[in-house]
Amino acid sequence: MGNICNENGQSGEGNGIHLQGLSQLMTIYGNVCYNNYNNGIRLQIEDTVEDDPAAINNMVVGNVAVLHEEDISRPWDKAISIEDPSNSAADNITGQL
């Protein structure tokens, strides 16, 4: 809660907030993530090996997540990337610089 994440990474790599592995029942709220070089906020599924833990059953609410200027060669970059349907997002402000 209440973090400012700015200019993480370079050349298409770097998330502002990144949950990966076994992350459950968390609420990510009140953060400002802008001008990062991949996703502003990412909840990742570990899909490389069956039964790997994932970021599941979390909420992303009330954040500001704004990407760097759109790079059309990287369409997977998102202000908020939620990879498992058990996670939810609501009332966030998103966009691009």
pLDDT in tens, 22-73: 789 999 999 999 988 889 999 988 766 666 678 889 999 999 999 877 667 7
pLDDT band, very low/low/confident/very high, at 3 (cuts 50, 70, 90) = very high
* Mean pLDDT (whole number) for 12-22: 85
Mean pLDDT over 6-32 rounds to 88
pLDDT of residue 52: 64
The confidence score (pLDDT) of residue 23 equals 85
Q: What is the pTM of this model?
A: 0.87
d(CA 94, CA 57): 21
Q: Are 73 and 43 in contact (CB under 8 A)?
A: no
Cβ atoms within 10 Å of 66's Cβ, excluding its own: 17
**Predicted pLDDT of residue 47:** 64
d(CA 3, CA 54): 23
Task: Give the Å distances, CA to CA, from 24 to 16, 44, 75, 84, 91.
Answer: 19, 12, 27, 11, 20
pLDDT the model gives residue 5: 94
The predicted pLDDT at position 75 comes to: 80
